Amino acid sequence: MTLSTAPNIDYSTEAYRRAYALINGVVIMGENHADHHFRLLADAIPADREELLALAAMEARHAREFVGCGRNLRVQADIPLARKLFQPLHDSLTSALEQGDLVRPLVIQCLIIECFAIAAYHCYLPVADPYAKGITTWVIDDEHLHLNYGEQWLQRNFSSHREAIAEACRRELPTTLTILQELWSDLEAIGIAPEALVAEFNCLLNDSLGAIGFQPKEVMAISTSAVARALAHL
């Protein structure tokens, strides 16, 4: 008798591999963008340059490791579609930085994208193939460092940027949830319940906004309401 609770997933079916191609593409694109974004932040925040370059290097390694996960399943990642899905967040981050704004880029990369990644990787762990599971486990630890960096910066600058942080969340959350909607059926096909991913994303983001300094009522108004609105459109 086995006590293992591992689900019985056949990683070699056409349906699994087709869905994995897009999910893997989104993950690789997300990690590549994260590498790029942390390097841009390193230029923009000279006091934290070394720390931000170290975070960027972790992201580059994540991208390489997830490329390996696709290769291991002999799946060709769908990069063009993934690139299209991330474009709005990426454009918003780079144009804010060009205007000298640090709040929006930190909200996009460190709060929204990192919470999304942690929630997604967490939901993926119990259904991952053994090769990907080993990688995803330590990647999650790294992602917490990325979230913590943004949380601490925003916490230190909370009083002067309170409204800008809230506004960035309100504007960027719908864009992020659009990515999730596009992945919905592919997530199901690889054994992830998208509703569970949304719920975990919402919890992580709420905790972060609370740690940064928002009152529970404000957190509800900023994050939970955006998530609920997005779900209502599904």
Which spans of this chain sit near ligand PL3 (rule: CB under 6 A)?
A: 23-24, 26-27, 30-31, 34, 59, 62, 66, 69, 113-114, 116-117, 120-121, 124, 132, 143, 146, 183
For 183, residues 6+ apart whose C-beta sits below 8 A from its C-beta are 22, 23, 26, 194
Both tokens of 19, joined, read: 């869905």
**Partner from Fe ion, ligand PL3, none contacting 38, C-beta within 5 to 8 A by type:** none
Q: Hey, which residues between 103 and 162 contact Fe ion (CB under 5 A)?
A: 143, 146
Residue 73 · residue 20 · CB < 8 Å: yes
Instruction: Specify the stretch interacting with Fe ion by CB under 5 A; choose among 34-42, 177-185, 213-221, 225-233.
Output: 34-42
From CA 104, how far away is CA 167, in angstroms rounded? 9
* Phi, psi torsion values for 72, nearest 5 degrees: -60, -35
**Partner from ligand PL3, Fe ion, none contacting 24, C-beta within 5 to 8 A by type:** ligand PL3
Residue 51 CB-density burial (10 A; 0-12 exposed, 13-18 middle, 19+ buried): middle
Q: Does 65 bind Fe ion (CB under 5 A)?
A: no
**Partner from Fe ion, ligand PL3, none contacting 110, C-beta within 5 to 8 A by type:** none
Binding site for Fe ion (CB under 5 A): 31, 34, 59, 62, 143, 146
